[in-house]
Chain A
Amino acid sequence: MKTCLTALISSLMIFSPMAYADKWSDQFPHIKATGDIPGDCSYEKMSKKNYKGKTLKINTHAIPVMGEPTALHAEQFEKLTGAKVEVTHTPAGDLYSKAMVPFQAGQAPYDVVFGFSNFINDWKRYLAPVPKKYMNSPEMKDVTKSHMGVSSWDGTMYQYPVDGDRHYLKYRKDVIDNPEMQKKYKADTGNELRVPRTWKEYAQMAKYFNDWDWDGDGEKEYGSAEVMKKDDLMFAAFFSRSVAYAKNPRTPGGFFFDLETMKPNINNPGFVEALTDWVEATKYVPPGGTNFGLGDEIGSFGGGQTLFSFSWDDAFIAAMQDDSPIKNKVGAAPLPGADRVWNRVSNSWENQYNQAPYIVWGWAVGVAKKSKVKDMAFDYLCFFSNGANHQADLAIGRFGVNPFKNSDFDPNIYINSMGWDPEIANSYTQTLLDMEKSNNRVFPLRVPGVFEFTSAVATGTSKALAGQLSPQEALDEVAKEWEAIVSRVGKKAVQDAYAVGVKMEDNKL
């Protein structure tokens, strides 16, 4: 009943096209679109807590992505509860070690630590499980099954969901859906111009639309913006390109490794095909595109420089913000697939269409087991992601907060609160929803020493992109390194941890 009531009130607020004024939105303009939304950690509820004299220490990412909402909600939390909140901002690459060093030394300089969801295996022993009262809250019940899985380890939730991430395709709708462009493309190439179904189609279109001014703004545009800079999340981009060729729904038991033998799959022909495509992609990215990190990718696609992009939501949200030159000119679609997929059991290609969503790791946050203010820490996190804050955060691309609740897949949120074109809002929410429903998903690698594995992938693939090694040589090198890491960490430890992820991929959890 309580859930229904909450949903009803939330819906009324969401569907209202006008700013919603209440006493809380007057004090906190951030939530002016919805006002306070009733819930266990609403503004109203938090104002009744008294944490005066207590200090909450948080380590989060640099401003703006996740760092800005952390600081904003900390300030709001201070005003509501009387607590003192100290926020430290840390670059993405150092989030892991900044928490891990004191964790390993038995200290807890931070009560709340932000990081990425794939840290979970290494961090879980130092984090407090999310208490039952939060697990049973209506807000938590609204979190999608995928993101409950990403935040949990073998049924225990260690990371409080504040963000939902997945990789999908973003494209320039004003080009792909433009009848004149379609005619011209057909005449020049003999192919249909449409949302690419495969990575080969993606490459053909990206090459065609590379290095000329196709939107008439007086500047050249390019084919694709991708994260290709070494050590700047490029491994995730590579996995996005690999899933179509290497995640075969008919061969359960591991995408990254063969779970039984723990032999890496990373150098099988599926991954090699993906890397070969990626090397080819260096020809249709903007100048300097092979040194693009995530920020560059967001700026490039969001600024209207490229036809395509794929990775986290941020580039899409940036493109759809009011100040964007391409607002309502972009579309969202599932990651391209492939016309063939590798069967690692029969060691052969299967000539049939395959597509696999990549539920990539994203922002995650936990409370240190040794924190002396755990209650306050969890209240802060619950407040961070309450209905009003979450909806307001979703509308700001630079915040890096993306949909992870079932209620987020309602297109009306984006149409009414953010001014999106209904067709785009529908394609966006449908794309995300379809990923949730897919039975052929790939989840991030979450094993002990995960950074060693992903770092090896970044090094190997970047050597291939730079032309230092062929795709096969590069991935053979990665496979060799992965075998060495498995041997160092211990086969059983990696296997046991990997089994949890495989269960999710094989739809058994």
Chain B
Amino acid sequence: MNFKHKYFFLFPGLFVLIGILIFPIIFVVRLSLSGWNSYNPGLDYIGLENYIRLFTDDPRFWESFFRLSFLSVTTVILQYVIGFALAHMVWKDIKFKRFFRVLFLVPMMTTPVIMTVIWRTFFHESLGPVNDLLSVFGVAPKWLTDPVIAKFTVIIVEVWQWTPFMFLLLLAGLLSLPKEPFLAAAIDGASPVRKFIYVTFPLMAPISIGAIIIRLIEASKIMDTVYVLTSGGPGTSTETSSFYIFIKGLREFQMGYAASMSFTYLIIMIISLTIIAKVLTKVLLKD
């Protein structure tokens, strides 16, 4: 029989794929080879000029990239630890289990920009309630105006907002684990700690890798928190790659240059996340 007509049914999917994935990437690459900006709009061709500028004359991009790496790795580690602890807690038969499961998901369901505005108000150093409370103990951290503390403020907000996502994935993982290994461990008289180290954690490794990678991808796009909370400041101390690309592209309107940064960033992320996934698989799935 001739099944050539089956290819006809592939066209809609292929068309959508080209329209929403392939075309934008190709357009970004083409844009990155142009000098499109506010005073010279249009897809002229300037070769690799933008890439040369990026690799030889823009330390700010690389600084923002390393800052992003620090912020995303730190936030994801914290989200994983806290998310795992919370998921483990409500996995057990505890009172108000359903209530806590819903409660822990609330931060994720709020709008990030609105919540960041609220966090900014909390951390406001002269009008916010956090320093008001801390003043009882004689301390008043400079949450948003100290270059080091501001990084941790961003981390706090990110962890609060996205730990529920990690919690959700890990809870789903815990609920899908087979019961037999836990029964065997119980018969052997394993303590809760040993049960966690030798049974729960290894069984959760594949799910953990998936959750960490998904969160790393999301965390590496951190933009709204920085935009609302600190605008990348003080100085450039909380500026991340995506915020920097936003400034160059939509504030300064250097569309061509911003496209070259976006494409470079995409390549770097693909490579680094592939390496991270391999390393995690090797470490966590060694047995």
Contacts and interface: CB of A to CB of B under 8 A. Distances in A.
B237 A468 contact: yes
B144 A448 contact: no
B112 interface: no
A427 interface: no
A286 B126 contact: yes
Contacts of A288: 124-128, 142-145
Given A287-B140, A291-B144, A452-B254, A230 B125 contact: no
A223 B60 CA distance: 33
Contacts of B143: 288
A232 interface: yes
Contacts of B252: 449, 451-452, 455
A289 interface: yes
A356 to B, nearest CB: 27
B234 A290 contact: yes
B251 A462 contact: no
A93 interface: yes
A21 B202 CA distance: 81
Given A100-B38, A288-B144, A493-B39, A93 B251 contact: yes
A143 B131 CA distance: 47
B238 to A, nearest CB: 10
A460 B115 CA distance: 29
Specify the main secondary structure of chain A where it touches its partner: helix
Specify the main secondary structure of chain B where it touches its partner: loop
A229 interface: yes
Contact of A231 (B40, B126, B231): B231
B234 A462 contact: yes
B250 A466 contact: no
B147 A467 contact: yes
A462 B253 contact: no
A89 B269 CA distance: 35
B253 A289 contact: no
A468 B236 contact: yes
A462 B234 CA distance: 6
B37 interface: yes
B232 interface: yes
Given A100-B253, A449-B38, A466 B234 contact: yes
Contacts of B125: 286-289, 291
B153 to A, nearest CB: 10
A230 B39 contact: no
Most chain A CB within 10 A, of B127, B143, B232, B233, is at B233
A468 B147 CA distance: 9
Contacts of A484: 57
Given A94-B250, A449-B37, A451-B38, A291 B126 contact: no
Given A451-B253, A464-B235, 20 more contacts: A93-B251, A97-B253, A230-B230, A230-B234, A230-B235, A286-B126, A288-B144, A290-B234, A305-B126, A449-B39, A449-B252, A452-B254, A462-B233, A462-B236, A466-B233, A466-B235, A468-B235, A468-B237, A469-B235, A489-B39
Q: Closest 7 CB pairs between A and B?
A: A288-B125, A466-B235, A466-B234, A448-B39, A287-B125, A104-B41, A230-B233
17 contacts: A93-B251, A122-B38, A229-B231, A286-B125, A288-B124, A288-B142, A291-B145, A291-B233, A448-B38, A449-B252, A452-B252, A455-B252, A462-B235, A465-B235, A467-B147, A489-B40, A493-B39
